Structure 1
Amino acid sequence: MRILVTGAAGFLGSHLAERLLLEGHRVIGVDNFSSGQPRNIELLSKHAEFRFVEADAAEPLAIEGSLDWVMHFASPASPPRYLKMPLQTLRVNGEGTRHLLELALAKGAKFFLASTSEVYGDPLVHPQPETYWGNVNPIGPRAIYDEAKRYAETLTVAYQQAQGVSTRIIRIFNTYGPRMDAEDGRVVTNFINQALRGQPLTIYGDGSQTRSFQYVDDLIEGIRRLMEVEYHLPVNLGNPEEYTMLELAQLIQELVGSKLPLVYQPLPQDDPRQRRPDISRAKALLGWEPRVPVREGLARTIAYFRE
C-alpha cells in the first residue's frame, strides 16, 4: 500500500511509519518539526520506500499519485507542548483534519484519525467506554487539545456518513516507550529523566490521581488490526491497568535503582483525577489487548533514555 502518515517525526507517528515500512508498504511522512524530532526522520529515511515531506499538516497537502490510506497523527500531545502552541494545536486538529479528509476523498483512500482519551475530560464514568460522552471544560486551558480532538472526531464521522469515506478513529490512552521526547513534560518522561539525573520527582497534587500506561508496540499492533476491519466508530486503545502517580513514581525509582525525594506542586487546572480505558470493544472487534507489562515496558524505556 501507499500510505500518508502525518506527524511522522513524532513519537507515535515514527513507530507507525516504521512498522508499515517493515511490512513492505510505501510511506510518505509529513511533519514540520513543531513537536517531532529530526532524528526520527533520519531513522525512517534508511528505508528505501520512505519519502519525507516537510510541511504543516494544518495546510492542504499536494500529494501526487495514488494513496491507500491517509493517517493523521500530527498534533502536539503533551499539555506543556499544546499550551505553548494553542492556535497551532487547534488548527492541525480542526482545519488539518478537514483538509486530510478532503485528500482521502479525492484519492479514494481510507482515513485514520488518531484521537485521544482526553475527549473524556475529567471523567465521571470509570472506566471510560467509547459510549461515554465525556466531561470537558470547553473554555479551560486544556480545551485547545480536548475540544480540537472532539471536533476532529465529529468531522471524521461526518465525512464517513455524508461522503462515504472509509474512516477509523482510535482514542489513545497514555502511551510510552522509546523515542519519546525527554522534554515533552509528560509524567513518564518527567519521572524517568528526573530519576536518571538524581533529581527529586515532581508530583502534581497529592499523587492520588490515576493514569493507565500502554507500551508503544501494543498501540501500533492495535492500529494495524483496526486498519484491517471496516469499523467507523471510535475504539479505545490503552492498558486498563491503573496506577496512581505515587505508585508510578515508586516503580520508576525501583527500576532506576535510586530512592529519591518527592516534590509536590499544585495540580494543574482541569487535570483529570482518573483515567482508565474500557477496552471491551477492542477485544471483541480486534482480538486485541496489551501484551507488554508496565514493568517490562518501563524498563525498556529507561534503557532507551540511559543511552
Structure 2
Amino acid sequence: MRKVMYNQFGDESVLEVVEQAVPSIQNDQLLIRVKAVSINPLDWKVYGGDMKLMSGTGFPKSVGIDFSGSVDQVGSAVSRFKTGDAVIGVLDVFKGGALADYIVVKETDIAPKPANLSFEQAAALPLTGLSALQIIDQLAAVGPNQDVLINGASGGVGLFAVQLAKKRGARVTAVVSTQGVAEVTKWGADNVVDYTRQPIRSLAQRFDAVIDLSTRLSFTDARPLMKSRAVFVSTLPSPLTLLYSAINNLFSGQKLKVLIVKPTVDGLNTLAHLAEHDLQIVLNKTYSLANIREAYRESRRGKVMGKSVIVLD
C-alpha cells in the first residue's frame, strides 16, 4: 500500500509516497480503507518542525489527521461497526498517519459517515468541525445574544465556527479577505469585515468573544476589541502562549484560552448529526495522492475558502 512519510523536518519537499505492507489488526481494532484525507494547517506545522514538543523528534513520521473511508476488517472485540461501513475519523493530531491506503484505528477514533455526504465532503468534517465545537461550546462558551468576532473566518475551522456560533444564538462578525466576503455571508455571519479595506483594530464594537483563526492577531492586540470579561481564543498552542494564558487568567477579567484539539466519539457523532441536517460543508479543491506536495504547498499559501482534501484512488 501507499503511505506518505518524511524523514526530516522541512517544507513540502520532505514528503514522500512510499510502499508499505498493509497493517494487521488486533482484536480491538479495525482496518480502514481510506477514501479521502483532509488538509489541515496543523499538518505543515508538524512536518515543518514547529510542534516538536508535541510530535517528538523521532523519524520516520507520517502525515494526515482526519479522514473518511470504509471498514475493511473488524477485530473480534469490535461491536459498533462491521465490514463495509462508511466512516469518518481522527487520528492522533500530532502523529497523523491517515495519508495511506489503509490505516488501523479503534472504535473510539471513528463515527458513521453522514449518508448525505460524499467521502470527499466527509473527510473535510472531523478535525476542523471538532475544533469549532470545542472553541464555540467550551473555550468561548458562546451563548444567546453574545457578540462574537471570528478573525480568519473563511477557512476550514471558520466555516464551522460561524455556523455553530449562529446556532448558539450569537451575533457574529466575520473578518475575511475580499475573496471570503460572499462565503461567510452565506454561512450566516451578521456582519463581515474585509480586512483589506478596514483594519480589524479600527473596529469600534466590543465583543464577548474574539476568536483568532488566522494566528496573526495577538491577545495584546485583541484586548481593545474585548469587553471587560471577554474571552480571546488562540489556535496557536505554543508553549509560550500556554504559559502566558495560565498567568494572565489568574489576574485579568479578559481571558486567554488556547485550542488544543481533543477528539471524542461524542464530538464526531454530534458533527455527523449536524451535517445530516443543515451544517454546510464547502470543498475548495481536491487532489490526488500523486500531487501531495502541490496540495500542501497551495494550502500553506492561504486564501483557501473552506476545506481542501486529498482523494486516494
Could you tell me the TM-score, scaled by structure 2's length?
0.36
Structure with bigger strand share is: 2
Structure with bigger helix share is 1
Which structure is larger by alpha-carbon Rg, 1 or 2?
2
